[in-house]
Structure 1
């Protein structure tokens, strides 16, 4: 059997390669790193997490928590590696990013049916192919894809948050806690008074941004908005967003501060923390100046500053079917953020679904039609929904899953019931 060619060894490509190989299908996995490094990447490992190290909520009352559990039950490589390299983050699943990527790389490279080919792919290969080249697809391959689909790309800009060392934090102005004391005390909470917040907001909104060709505020994906763009929407926007103090009492005062910056562990050792919600494209000296105005960060050592990079995705409802196949040429599948799914887990899910369908097709089996009641199915059906007129990247959410059809009191209870229904349906599928 001719090997399936997969372009890109990110989360989606690695998951797809693993699922195909586990089903007896040989795979040729092409990855341009380390020969050519995209601007936002730093490691040669597979499945590198470019932005946050959090895979978001792990609770079944949250749609991404349901999606994780579905993937776990279906034998996802990415979820297995994430669970093995978990770092404490309250109700979220966060990982030691280096251990996580290393584990993915070792397992993929160690599979007897997966051949890794290093180097840039500049054209769409012949035969069955999964294009999981990501939002940072190289210019040459992006041009080849655009020529193939005869449709305009949509693009947005994405931003990564800075990292600081724990030992450089001033814990006299911070404390460990999770919001509402939920789970373990995994976040460092940095308080700001009203006066400190006002000065910080003023500096943030007037700080000098790095030049990003073609960047405008309205082009930023809402789910990963630079903190300075968010701040410019109003003086209290941050206080009702990433800096909200709700559920965080300062143990020194037993009161909620005026505003709180949260830091989340970025590695298993707890030596590095990232600024939650502080994706940014300010110039690096400006980041040092402005973020050091946060009392707990006055002497902070920044081991990585925030960066801004281009993301590119397809107008998928016009181009792809529910298996992430190109309607005009079904031998070609897409997976990952290039399809318009947003988020690490969602990217993994797209690679999983594309690979399962392709494996079944090559072995003469019927496809697995994940129904819309499951998170896997709802996401695939949203991406391929031709009635979506203004398509933009979106995280999985309960709004794209059909309602229960009966009343359940309380939003959390209703979401838990939606998850229970989904997992029951999933158990009846032959995946």
Structure 2
């Protein structure tokens, strides 16, 4: 009888790992503590619940590294990408999904698989035998976190993630706001009008920044240092870096024309992206925040078009823990001190839904291959997955290791491509062409080895 693979955590990484391993013929048990044990950010007991943004970011697989990662996961029969495509929302060039139906569908497909079962109990200790993947993500429970710390002999690194608020569409004043994707990007009219835009003139922007900086914020415990991942900075932290930072970041006014006043260029623009298929909910793009709830409603209602807004969810902040993977994991994502345990997802120090699911995909395949007696080599560093797993398992400096999104800076250089803007586009295309060929080769070799 084939040995069972146990996966702790049913988020993006755990769900994808279970799917991949089960499809290779290995029985899987997903151990998920929700809803028995709740977290700050989750609202349901569904697997693969999206707690922050509802976006998987760019879907451009020729000029963007995360879009390439989408492509690789689709080529590998990835559950997360299949389900995201099935529940896609208009979002210009991004892949945004209807978050609740997405999680419900992932849960249903996993539970329907004959080799997958789900146990809703908290795992509080590291197992001493068997085959395990720890994919508990940024909200790893305190008891399991302590067990990991005891095993690794080092303090877990930690930073903070913030969540953006969600607004009810029917409370947005569309006499002031308008529908348009930046640069009218998108293949259809629905995609070209996927965002709601709220314009600000200079005086409104300055007043907004003043209120943002003065607002009551969540305080941290004494002696606790707030370290943030740059890709998920609270807007107050961005504003503290300079009054123009937001105007050149999530509030940049470029690529947009206000149809209510087309001759006047907005000084800044707040964008909202559809959060569900019904179009009843919109999240404020890039507006992660650590403001207290009362302050959030006061400050966000200063945005033109949101003066009468009602919020389905306000923003918030939570701790995100991750291990020092370059020091602790081998290139098979196994804990060096306990190689029967693999780690996957955000706890390894990757950042983002897609990167987490991708590391789950690899961990699930590697664990299943080991159980089946056909060890699996790491994918080439020229692929998006190979570059990312290489970074977290040895490519990064353990002394300065911090969470990382996939990006072309992690890839081996491509020779013979000139610099400059045109050269950069050519270089990115060269990266993706090479990656796709090498990823297909790796998948083919894996099938041959399995046979």
TM-score class, shorter-chain normalisation, is over 0.9
Q: Which residue of 2 aligns with 1:168?
A: 171
Q: 1:162 to 1:216 in 2, by over 3 A?
A: farther
For this pair of structures, how many residues does the alignment match? 431
Which structure 2 segments of 5+ residues have no match? 187-191, 447-451
Superposed CA deviations along residues 252-272 of structure 1, whole A, max 9, x for unmatched, are: 224431000000000011110
SS, match of residue 52 in structure 1 = coil
Equivalences for residues 62-73 of structure 1 within 5 A: 62-73=64-75
**Residues 217 and 229 of structure 1 are in contact (CA less than 8 Å); yes or no, is this contact kept in structure 2?**
no
SS, match of residue 333 in structure 1 = strand
**Residues 356 and 368 of structure 1 are in contact (CA less than 8 Å); yes or no, is this contact kept in structure 2?**
no
**Residues 218 and 290 of structure 2 are in contact (CA less than 8 Å); yes or no, is this contact kept in structure 1?**
yes
CA distance in 1, matches of 2:396, 2:237: 31
CA distance in 2, matches of 1:278, 1:182: 22
Q: Which residue of 2 aligns with 1:405?
A: 415
Superposed CA deviations along residues 192-243 of structure 1, whole A, max 9, x for unmatched, are: 0000001000000110012343697751111101111111111101001100
Q: Which residue of 1 aligns with 2:237?
A: 229
The TM-score with structure 2 as length reference comes to: 0.93
User: Out of 355, 359, 366, which is 1:346 matched to?
Assistant: 355
Q: 1:381 to 1:73 in 2, by over 3 A?
A: same
Alignment partner of 1:143 is 2:143: no
Q: Which residue of 1 aligns with 2:333?
A: 324
SS, match of residue 428 in structure 1 = helix
Q: Which residue of 1 aligns with 2:107?
A: 105
User: Out of 79, 87, 94, which is 1:92 matched to?
Assistant: 94
CA distance in 1, matches of 2:258, 2:224: 37
The TM-score with structure 1 as length reference comes to: 0.97
**Residues 247 and 256 of structure 1 are in contact (CA less than 8 Å); yes or no, is this contact kept in structure 2?**
no
SS, match of residue 261 in structure 1 = strand
Q: 1:212 to 1:20 in 2, by over 3 A?
A: same
User: Out of 194, 198, 204, which is 2:206 matched to?
Assistant: 198
Q: 1:170 to 1:313 in 2, by over 3 A?
A: same
SS, match of residue 49 in structure 1 = coil
CA distance in 2, matches of 1:206, 1:268: 36
Q: Which residue of 2 aligns with 1:306?
A: 315
Shift of 1:386: 5.8
Superposed CA deviations along residues 298-327 of structure 1, whole A, max 9, x for unmatched, are: 001111000111100001110012221112
Q: 1:312 to 1:387 in 2, by over 3 A?
A: closer
Q: 1:387 to 1:288 in 2, by over 3 A?
A: closer
Q: 1:112 to 1:316 in 2, by over 3 A?
A: same
CA distance in 1, matches of 2:112, 2:265: 51
CA distance in 2, matches of 1:298, 1:322: 52
User: Out of 198, 210, 216, which is 1:208 matched to?
Assistant: 216
Higher mean alpha-carbon deviation, 64-73 vs 171-180, is at 171-180
Shift of 1:328: 2.2
Q: 1:98 to 1:278 in 2, by over 3 A?
A: same
Q: Which residue of 2 aligns with 1:130?
A: 133
Q: Which residue of 2 aligns with 1:41?
A: 42
SS, match of residue 308 in structure 2 = coil
- Root-mean-square deviation over aligned CA pairs: 1.4
Alignment partner of 1:274 is 2:283: yes
**Residues 7 and 13 of structure 1 are in contact (CA less than 8 Å); yes or no, is this contact kept in structure 2?**
yes
Superposed CA deviations along residues 380-417 of structure 1, whole A, max 9, x for unmatched, are: 00001165130000100000011111115432232122
Equivalences for residues 364-379 of structure 1 within 5 A: 364-379=373-388
Alignment partner of 1:119 is 2:127: no
Q: 1:340 to 1:418 in 2, by over 3 A?
A: same
Which structure 1 segments of 5+ residues have no match? none
Equivalences for residues 173-192 of structure 1 within 5 A: 173-183=176-186, 184-192=192-200
Q: 1:22 to 1:150 in 2, by over 3 A?
A: same
Shift of 1:119: 1.2
**Residues 177 and 187 of structure 1 are in contact (CA less than 8 Å); yes or no, is this contact kept in structure 2?**
yes
Q: Which residue of 2 aligns with 1:417?
A: 430
Shift of 1:355: 1.1
Q: 1:147 to 1:374 in 2, by over 3 A?
A: same
